[in-house]
Amino acid sequence: MRSIKKLSNVSIIVLNYNGMDLIDTCLSSIYHYILAGVKIIFIDNNSTDKSFQHAQTKYPDLIFIKNNSNLLFAKGNNIGIKRALKYGSKYIFILNNDTEMKPGSLEILYDFMEKNELAGACQPILCSMNNPDAIASAGCRLSLSGKAWDHLNGESILKAGAEPFEILGATGGALFLRAQALNNVGLFDELFEIYFEDVDLSLRIRSVGYSIWCLPSAKVLHKGSATTSTLNRSFKLYYCERNAFYIINKHIHQPVRFLSIVTLLSTNFFLIVYNLFVNKNANAYTIFKAMINGLNHIIKNDRGKKRKSVFWKLIDSTRIFP
């Protein structure tokens, strides 16, 4: 166990929504870090399954915050980040409630950031909880259409190798952040609400000169979409489609910007027609609604604004759709 002084500048944020079947696995894997001085902030998005009360009873040394409504990912986590910054934390670790951290992983993330001052964020390898040898995420990838996906998803853990490697962005499921980077660029953009907010934050961190890394020697098991699976089936579809427009609006400039918008619109039209053809009218409507709202957002925010380039060498320009 590290000394209290060693890890007392780390805060872990766990956002929960109706996670009764999830939180014991997650919290029991990190609870011992309290003895090392780590602050664990448990944010609840107004759960109705008594998971918040369960956590209070079983893990009394956590810092508890209960929201009055489901604020979704970006706003919910921002509340925890603000509390961590108020405590003076040097590092903030965003951890999904459907995860299990393997022993020693937090120390690996911490030591890497301490030795690499230009690293603004990093993440462990996320592996499937059902198949720990299969990668769930080794970082975020970004396509020409503004849509993002998990790097090395479904691949063998051996493919990640053993050494740290640079990535375009770190996944919000297990995101280890330098507080100074957040002070420079801000927190999660709450306009995204949920999905791709981690990509946006990563690109903003890169825009001020920081790098972002994946550390294969640190490992977190991830169930994946465990919380959002309890919501409406069209929920993820809407936000993923809409937020691709938000990514283009904030981070992709001309001349590639026009091509990205056309590419995204083309894929949207294709998906709408396909879903109508297979009688999935609700999906077609959801995509159409997301497209209209996303396009309106670009039109309203496109007047004379200059944008910094993203790191094109890390964008998969050969793919238009994840």
CA distance 276 to 115: 53
Please report the pLDDT score of residue 310 as a whole number. Answer: 52
Are 79 and 67 a contacting pair, CB within 8 Å?
yes
CA distance 110 to 33: 13
Count CB-CB contacts under 10 A for residue 255: 7
Please report the pLDDT score of residue 1 as a whole number. Answer: 45
Please report the pLDDT score of residue 253 as a whole number. Answer: 82
Please report the pLDDT score of residue 308 as a whole number. Answer: 55
Count CB-CB contacts under 10 A for residue 289: 15
Q: How far is CA 185 from the centre of its chain?
A: 16
Tokens in use for 1? 């166990």
Residue 201: half-sphere exposure toward Cβ, Cα within 13 Å: 33
Backbone angles phi, psi at 84, to 5 degrees: -65, -40
Please report the pLDDT score of residue 64 as a whole number. Answer: 98
CA distance 309 to 89: 30
In DSSP notation, 35-51 reads: GGT-EEEEEE---SSSH
CA distance 317 to 74: 27
pLDDT (tens place) for every residue of the chain, 322 residues total: 444 447 999 999 999 999 999 999 999 999 999 999 999 999 999 999 999 999 999 999 999 999 999 999 999 999 999 999 999 999 999 999 999 999 999 999 999 999 999 999 999 999 999 999 999 999 999 998 999 999 999 999 999 999 999 999 999 999 999 999 999 999 999 999 999 999 999 999 999 999 999 999 999 999 976 555 556 778 999 999 999 999 999 988 877 888 889 999 999 999 999 999 999 999 999 999 999 999 999 998 865 455 555 555 556 655 666 6
DSSP assignment, residue 143? B
CA distance 148 to 133: 23
Please report the pLDDT score of residue 255 as a whole number. Answer: 78
pTM of the model: 0.93
CA distance 2 to 260: 48
